Structure 1
Amino acid sequence: MMKRILFVCLGNICRSPAAEALVRDKCPEIETDSAGTSDFHTGAPPYGPRQAAAKKRSINMSDLRARKFTPEDFLKFDFIIVMDGENLRNVEDLRPSGNTTPVELFAPMAPGLAAQDVPDPYYTRDFDGCLDLLEAAATGLQRRILGAG
């Protein structure tokens, strides 16, 4: 069973910390973390409107801080989940030679949904819609990894 999962987006202040918070609440037996492919917000808490939308759903992410994805993350985690195709390519570009850590998109894990990317609410301003997709994908991940639902 995979025990260490890293969620990755661009700045690590909206999508990936929300995914991390959701999965750690749903699956406390899994070690989670999140990172960004950019260093725009290193050390910053999740974006205020993202936190506010999450708090309305009793999702606390106030303890999280942004950090940049590094090649060493391939060695620290059993599974790396990215929010969109661009960040998937950015992560793969940093893969150490010979490393086989699985890297997958998160949105396709949502049961019954055809989404490929999780839209960035920093730009779309649709924080609730993003959370809906993340919650559905987290449910799919939970079923896949734990065989639970």
Structure 2
Amino acid sequence: MNNSPFRSVLFVCLGNICRSPLAEGVFRSVLAAEGKGDGIRIDSAGTNGYHTGEAPDERSIAVAGRYGIDISNQCCRQLTLEDFTRFDLIVGMDRANVAAIETRRPANATAQTGLLYEIALGELKQIPDPYYGTNVDFERVYRMILAASKGLSKRF
């Protein structure tokens, strides 16, 4: 029996097409490798709805695929008020994401919120948005998310 306070996590970035879908897939993979995935809800969302209904960015799909993680079937969505009671933990990829999450936080929210790296590894590091970058930037973001996911898994 898992006595962790966390049984669900929502990863949040700006558009839910680069970082947060990658984090969803990587964290799911890390938990599975550790034999912890059963019964844990993992999802991702964006603070804006520009890409609602779309698949993740092809570069995020490609970098995940290079490590045996398939995120191609994910569907982008926007953060909702219900997410604040549906998830135990809502983490933003950077400070702007966390600020946007807190701006939307309803009075009845039960979720703990914060910066992914801070909650996972105790560091104030931000995961940069690779959208306007190159494949090298997506690779760097993957490595950062993998490190954070391994740290976060200890909380589940």
Both structures adopt the same fold (TM-score exceeding 0.5) = yes
Alpha-carbon distance between aligned partners in 2 of 1:109 and 1:22, rounded to the nearest angstrom? 16
Structure-1 residue corresponding to 2:12: 8
Separation in 2, partners of 1:8, 1:61: 15
The correspondence of residues 1-149 of structure 1 with structure 2, limited to 5 A, is 1=4, 2-27=6-31, 28-29=37-38, 30-109=40-119, 111=121, 114=123, 116-125=125-134, 126-143=137-154, 145-146=155-156
Q: How far apart are the structure 1 equivalents of 2:130 and 2:117?
A: 14
Residues 1:96 and 1:3: Cα distance change in structure 2 (over 3 Å): same
CA RMSD of aligned residues (A): 1.6
Deviations 1:59-82 (A, max 9, x none): 110110100001111011011011
8 A Cα contact 1:110 1:133, kept in partner = no
User: What count of residue pairs does the alignment treat as equivalent?
Assistant: 144
Q: Which runs of 5+ in 1 are unaligned?
A: none
TM-score (norm: length of structure 1): 0.90
Shift of 1:98: 4.5
Tell me what 2:34 maps to: none
Counterpart residue type for residue 5 of structure 1: V
TM-score (norm 2): 0.86
Is the 8 Å Cα contact of residues 7 and 41 (structure 2) preserved in structure 1? yes
Poorly superposed stretches of 4+, deviation over 4 Å: 109-112
**Paired residues of 1:42 and 1:65 also in contact (CA < 8 A):** yes
